Structure 1
């Protein structure tokens, strides 16, 4: 086996027939190859695609791209572990338990992906928010109806390759195994999530929808089960709590029950929407458009703004969605939250990204009476204000970027991908002062880093407030068990230990393994 690097023009890299001819020529007649890495290099005026191949002496010697085997034993009659939440953390925890002959019982407050679509349509068209079925709650979690980004920097927390291979085994494209910034796409994710659920059910695991945890069953200092829908009780050897960053009622239940939680920093700001063609022209150095071969371009921006006390505050892009759409992501009536998503082709004419400002614990002094839920209350008030100021529905407040910086209300707004519609407004009426001030300074700075980015062709849309959980559910570093309640395993984004699909999935697996080793006498291979 030998590794070979190719530096190709986009039309050579993304035309399958041309690429195969060039790759075969490079590895030599009679040899075989497979792609192990592919990335776009746009640092110079000529955009290149860099491809890394593994060369094999012949086809028979070529190892498969995916080594994961989709085999699960029947666990219907085995010991059981409760998993609260059917997002990536919960689903991957369930599969890991099954691999070690333990039965998972997955409890999800929302609906399955198919039934969930009707509630998403109601938010977009009728401005009706179902508090248990929306863009955040339901099978697959918030990631199901998102861009499906699979890139993560959390590579020390688990086996990223294994997570990607499990996705491929359940229907994802093999390209995610070698693209530098892999994504699945909101149009593809529902089918893959369904396949993950089918694997759980086919092995004798359970998945319960429309099942909201309303209380915890605590016996002798240990969490032995949960109450669902104020009625039925479900018991297990442990509880993996993987409810996501927007399950505010769970945070409130933990606090009211006296189970230790902590406030933590998070971020809040806006979604910013540009024409995708404008971002392409900036990033790919092209005069008209990117052409038929290059993917829609993205960006990542960060700035440090000095505060009044001499400290620095971070302002950064978040969840950038090239060729995507902005969607309403509120989880209760009377709130207004926006998020972004992209289809697999990323072929919308819009590019959007969260542009958010770090919120530190020092910023929450006015919310001290809410204790560990101070950040949650701050978040909630901003969302409620945004909703109230635009009439109580899901119409979002918006302002063109330069107008916002210069303090002018936009006389007209640009076309948008946001289906419920926009209302022109002075965004300083919506955003806390320190958020607005930090954004204004940073937009100018970003315009210097990306020539053409700072423009009234872009508009800011509010509010982007669910970047991460404002609460952490503390756990022991080694055992991953809650610091004061045994058999409780806080997991994923909602507990403050992940930040995306892959990191949440890895954390789900780690929590499952921790349960297996401590309470079920299993050895993890």
Structure 2
């Protein structure tokens, strides 16, 4: 017999297995020592709106019955080594999930990745952290697993396609993720665990007969009339297939330039730019959980989500938190020498003493009149110039420019900076010399508003670190709304973040699956 319950529990009951089972048995009217019973959570979310933190839980109790798996979907990966190939450029979540979906549909994927495999990437990440050396093909953005692998592993998405989301989550669980990601309202794998899962995704592709080519950079397209037949790599090798799924991520600027040079339609796209802001995790916990000292042993490190509309020079723009990383670290995410970019990540335990979040301002194309001469690459050139300025202000290394939060609002250079999770180090500067006026002015307005929404958030015990500029692609590669095919070039399927159609691991994976389905439906003979 299975019974389902909706419960409101204390953290001690929700996050301790023994206490949770006792709470469920009590709700069911059963004795604490009832035998042949099994209780599990199917959904869990924290409600910290009141003075007392509660956890909303959906639970199942099995009495004299095996609970079975939480998985509804078990993928079937066919042998495809003899099938016609399709080409996938990029081995981020979009590329990997496109490849797995192609295999399910009986088509061989050839995945081309400019970076290294997930394990080999670590040496290049160490080099940028410790020595400030940026490898333009292997860094926090490029390499197997894409940008998300070593920058957090958050799986939360605002997409409304709940069935598709569940499917992506279950594929992660099938490849070794804990079933907790099916339960938590804001699931998270962690940057220390995601690389293992990425390697297992790769193994599924290879075992089924797919191919993955690492350290292979696409430098040209094979075009015949208005059709793409394949790609050309840096070695001059020509790789042909049924079609090309372009899943290169938001930072592959060379691909955007290649598209423009080849006369393939692209468009400038609004994005967001700002900083990372770092508080102590204990401060954020005390604000969010209303605790006097610390959050205690049961509650996870607390997160926040903030948004503020700002009016500057008669224009309304949003300022919002982005990719909040409780118990996390700030990392250098540049993809080329001569630029400075920061991002955030959290390990699975979220046990760092720091909390950080992107804090960014919406940038519309009308905000960039002086960049119109660059056409569809206007926002990209703006983004690149701000990153170069940050690099210069930090001392022309991966040392990042920074300023205490209240000092920034008051236009005062900080006489000292706080401890930080950012390994290359910080340089105290006036961040208004790094950020464009319309960005800095809006952030100062928003910080005051955030201080009203979260008492204690606006403090000089927090610091801003710049720049957070890779929130999304500044370029869109257009595609048909129904077919997902490029409107000008047949058999070209722009995909996920780099094309402007997804943001984050789960939404990118979903888009990768859909692109594979669309390509195969159109060009694979039944």
Range class of TM-score, shorter chain:
over 0.9
Q: CA deviation at 1:78?
A: 0.4
> Is 1:212 aligned with 2:217?
yes
Q: Distance in 2 between matches of 1:373 and 1:515?
A: 27
Match of 1:261 in 2: 266
Q: Is the 8 A contact 2:47 2:53 kept in 1?
A: yes
Q: Distance in 1 between matches of 2:13 and 2:396?
A: 51
Q: CA deviation at 1:500?
A: 0.4
Match of 1:59 in 2: 65
Q: Is the 8 A contact 1:157 1:503 kept in 2?
A: no
Q: Distance in 2 between matches of 1:347 and 1:369?
A: 47
Residue aligned with 1:198, SS: helix
Residue aligned with 2:248, SS: coil
Match of 1:174 in 2: 179
Q: CA deviation at 1:483?
A: 1.0
* Residue-by-residue CA offset, 1:278-322 (whole Å, 9 max, x unaligned): 00000000000001110000000000001313x310100000000
Match of 1:162 in 2: 167
Match of 1:226 in 2: 231
Q: CA deviation at 1:31?
A: 5.2
Match of 1:7 in 2: 8
Q: Which residue of 305, 309, 332 corresponds with 1:300?
A: 305
Q: Distance in 1 between matches of 2:175 and 2:124?
A: 25
Q: Is the 8 A contact 1:33 1:56 kept in 2?
A: yes
Q: Distance in 2 between matches of 1:446 and 1:106?
A: 44
Q: Is the 8 A contact 2:327 2:354 kept in 1?
A: yes
Q: CA deviation at 1:146?
A: 1.4
Q: Is the 8 A contact 1:269 1:356 kept in 2?
A: yes
Q: Distance in 2 between matches of 1:521 and 1:501?
A: 31
Residue aligned with 2:348, SS: coil
Q: Distance in 2 between matches of 1:356 and 1:288?
A: 30
Q: Distance in 2 between matches of 1:521 and 1:51?
A: 47
How many aligned positions are there?
520
> Is 1:320 aligned with 2:329?
no
Q: Distance in 2 between matches of 1:40 and 1:389?
A: 41
The within-5 A match list for 1:394-433 is 394-433=398-437
Q: Distance in 1 between matches of 2:63 and 2:299?
A: 32
Q: Is the 8 A contact 1:264 1:470 kept in 2?
A: yes
Q: Is the 8 A contact 1:338 1:463 kept in 2?
A: yes
Match of 1:493 in 2: 497
Q: Which residue of 115, 122, 128 corresponds with 2:120?
A: 115
Q: Distance in 1 between matches of 2:238 and 2:346?
A: 39
Q: Distance in 1 between matches of 2:278 and 2:203?
A: 37
Match of 1:141 in 2: 146
Q: Is the 8 A contact 1:157 1:507 kept in 2?
A: no
* Residue-by-residue CA offset, 1:256-292 (whole Å, 9 max, x unaligned): 1000001110000000000000000000000000011
> Is 1:505 aligned with 2:506?
no
Q: Is the 8 A contact 1:157 1:506 kept in 2?
A: no
* Residue-by-residue CA offset, 1:400-456 (whole Å, 9 max, x unaligned): 000000011000000000000000000011000000000000000000000000000
Match of 1:35 in 2: 41
Q: Which runs of 5+ in 2 are unaligned?
A: none
Q: CA deviation at 1:230?
A: 4.4
> Is 1:439 aligned with 2:413?
no
Residue aligned with 2:161, SS: helix
* Residue-by-residue CA offset, 1:4-36 (whole Å, 9 max, x unaligned): 112111111111122123223434455544321
> Is 1:82 aligned with 2:83?
no
Q: Distance in 2 between matches of 1:141 and 1:314?
A: 28
Q: Which residue of 215, 233, 257 corresponds with 1:252?
A: 257
Q: Is the 8 A contact 1:83 1:241 kept in 2?
A: yes
TM-score, normalising length: structure 1: 0.97
Higher mean C-alpha deviation, range 507-516 or range 19-28: 19-28
Q: Distance in 2 between matches of 1:24 and 1:84?
A: 52
Report the CA distance shift for 1:254/1:157 in structure 2 as closer, same or farther (over 3 A): farther
Match of 1:386 in 2: 390
* Residue-by-residue CA offset, 1:229-258 (whole Å, 9 max, x unaligned): 141000000100000000000000001100
> Is 1:238 aligned with 2:243?
yes
The within-5 A match list for 1:268-307 is 268-307=273-312
Q: CA deviation at 1:521?
A: 4.0
Q: CA RMSD in A?
A: 1.2
Q: Distance in 2 between matches of 1:35 and 1:63?
A: 13
* Residue-by-residue CA offset, 1:76-131 (whole Å, 9 max, x unaligned): 01011000000000000000000011000000000001110000000000000000
Q: Distance in 1 between matches of 2:501 and 2:163?
A: 13
Q: Is the 8 A contact 1:158 1:510 kept in 2?
A: no
* Residue-by-residue CA offset, 1:452-505 (whole Å, 9 max, x unaligned): 000000000000000000000000000000111000000010000001000000
> Is 1:16 aligned with 2:17?
yes
* Residue-by-residue CA offset, 1:187-230 (whole Å, 9 max, x unaligned): 00000000000000000000000000000001131111000114
Q: Which runs of 5+ in 1 are unaligned?
A: none
Q: Distance in 1 between matches of 2:203 and 2:489?
A: 32
Higher mean C-alpha deviation, range 2-11 or range 187-196: 2-11
Q: Is the 8 A contact 1:158 1:507 kept in 2?
A: no
> Is 1:518 aligned with 2:522?
yes
Q: CA deviation at 1:56?
A: 4.5
Residue aligned with 1:114, SS: coil
Q: Distance in 2 between matches of 1:158 and 1:81?
A: 26
Match of 2:471 in 1: 467
